[in-house]
Amino acid sequence: MVGNSNGEFISGDDGRVVIPGVEPGSTIHVREIKVPEGVVLDGIPKSIKISDDGANILRFYNKKTGYLVVRKLDKITKEPLSGVQFELTYAEGGYVDDAHGHLSSKGLYTTNANGEIRVPVVGTVVVKEVKTLPTHIIDEATRIQTVTVNPADTQTITVYNEPLCSLTLSKKDAVTGKPVPNTEFTLKDVDGNILGRYTTGGDGTVTVTGLTPNSTVVVVETKVPSNYVLDSTPRTIIVRNAEQYGYSNKYFFS
């Protein structure tokens, strides 16, 4: 260890560090561990064998940093989504760590209140969405994206998540048109797995939430009040976000 500060030195206003009293013939290994904001850490260690002619100079060069901005928006409303987690890695391997490489975040970043992540970085970065909100679904087609950020450059990518869908089932009397409460419906996926059983309320409707957009469900009427005849005909429904496709996910039974 060189010097009296555990081998750590800070450059002055002239960008230089002068270390006196180093024994000629010794080999010194130097690694840059911290840089000011706005420049990129030169993480390649350098070595020098000390000669007695006084010309012992090691130079480190720092590029101006670039910035990567990841924006996360609701696909339907275009509102920002906070609390969505991304993993950032370099294309050649290794995590993009926080605080200019000084703090290990294991490459994990979470969108802020504005739905953004802003990271100082230079290089080719692989952006992977790893966790979204419980109210939304990850778009597998855009889950992983690669972007190259150059020095003094800002690259912005926008990633969308579609919200989960709801489906309203309405049961009415075939003659009077009045709502029929206490009617039970069973929802299944296309493979026959039961997603749940739902019973209409006083207005004759029940709303099922948390359905995957553009998925297909099969709805079967499984119980009706004693003065009605059960209609056990399965109905196949594709659920979509109403705001996107201009219609309501509401299905009527009578």
Q: How confident is the model at residue 21 (pLDDT cuts 50, 70, 90)?
A: confident
165-253 has which fold? Immunoglobulin-like (2.60.40)
- List, for residues 142-162, the tens digit of each pLDDT value: 899 999 999 889 999 999 999
For residue 63, pLDDT beyond 50: yes
Residue 243: which pLDDT band, with cuts at 50, 70 and 90? low
Q: What is the pTM of this model?
A: 0.71
The span from the CA of 214 to the CA of 235, in Å, is 16
The partner residues of 238 in beta bridges, in order of sequence, read 216
Q: What is the pLDDT of residue 71?
A: 97
Percentage of the chain exceeding pLDDT 70: 91
Weakest mean pLDDT among 11-15, 40-44, 77-81, 219-223: 40-44
Q: In what order do the strands lie in the sheet with 116-121?
A: 116-121, 66-74, 154-163, 136-137
pLDDT at 244: 54
Residue 126 or 94, more confident: 126
Q: Where are the alpha helices (DSSP H) in the chain?
A: 242-245
Task: For the chain, give every domain's residue range.
Answer: 66-163, 165-253
Who's near 123: CB < 8 A, 6+ residues apart?
90, 91, 92, 148, 149
pLDDT in the model for residue 22:
83
Mean of per-residue pLDDT scores for the chain:
87
Q: Which of 145, 147, 86, 80 is nearest to 115 (CA)?
A: 80
- CATH classification for the domain delimited by 66-163, as one of 2.60.40.10, 3.40.50.2300, 3.60.15.10, 2.60.120.10: 2.60.40.10
For residue 103, is pLDDT > 70? no
Question: Cβ atoms within 10 A of the Cβ of 207, count?
Answer: 14
Give yes or no for residue 253 having a pLDDT over 80. Answer: no
Highest mean predicted confidence (pLDDT) among 16-30, 36-50, 224-238:
224-238
